[in-house]
Structure 1
Amino acid sequence: MLNKAMWIIEGKIKPGKIQAYLDIMKERIDIVQKEDGIINYEWALGEDEESITIRVEYSDSATARMHLIKLANFADHYLKLIDLEKILVYSDLSPDLRDAISSLNPIYMNYIGGFSKSEDGVAQEITSEITKN
Structure 2
Amino acid sequence: MFENIGWIVEAKLKPGKQAEFEAVMQDIVTETLKEQGTLNYQYYLSDAGDVLVYERFSDIESAHIHVSNWDNFAERWVAAAEPTRMVHLGQLPDELRARHAALAPLWLKPLGGFQR
TM-score (norm 1): 0.82
Residue 76 of structure 1, CA deviation? 2.1
Does residue 59 (structure 1) correspond to residue 58 (structure 2)? The answer is: yes
The residue identity in structure 2 corresponding to 1:86 is R
Q: Where do 1:1-133 residues align within 5 Å?
A: 1-48=1-48, 50-116=49-115, 118=116
Take 2:109 and 2:93, find their aligned partners in 1: how far apart are those partners? 14
Take 1:69 and 1:16, find their aligned partners in 2: how far apart are those partners? 28
Residue 80 of structure 1, CA deviation? 1.5
Aligned residues: 116
Bigger CA drift: 106-115 or 9-18? 106-115
Where structure 1 has 5 or more consecutive residues not aligned to the other structure, the ranges are 119-133
Instruction: Name the counterpart of 1:128.
Output: none
Secondary structure of the structure 1 residue equivalent to 2:55 = strand
Identity within the alignment, %: 27
The list of structure 1 runs, each at least 4 consecutive aligned residues, that deviate by more than 6 angstroms after superposition, is none
Query: Is the CA contact (8 Å cut-off) linking 2:35 and 2:62 kept in structure 1?
Result: no
Deviations 1:72-94 (A, max 9, x none): 12112211211111111102222
Take 2:114 and 2:96, find their aligned partners in 1: how far apart are those partners? 26
Where structure 2 has 5 or more consecutive residues not aligned to the other structure, the ranges are none
Query: Is the CA contact (8 Å cut-off) linking 2:24 and 2:73 kept in structure 1?
Result: no
Query: Is the CA contact (8 Å cut-off) linking 1:61 and 1:91 kept in structure 2?
Result: no
The residue identity in structure 2 corresponding to 1:114 is G
Deviations 1:22-81 (A, max 9, x none): 111111111111111011110111122x11101011001221011111111211221121
The residue identity in structure 1 corresponding to 2:35 is E
The residue identity in structure 1 corresponding to 2:51 is I
TM-score (norm 2): 0.93
Take 1:94 and 1:52, find their aligned partners in 2: how far apart are those partners? 26
Take 2:25 and 2:97, find their aligned partners in 1: how far apart are those partners? 25
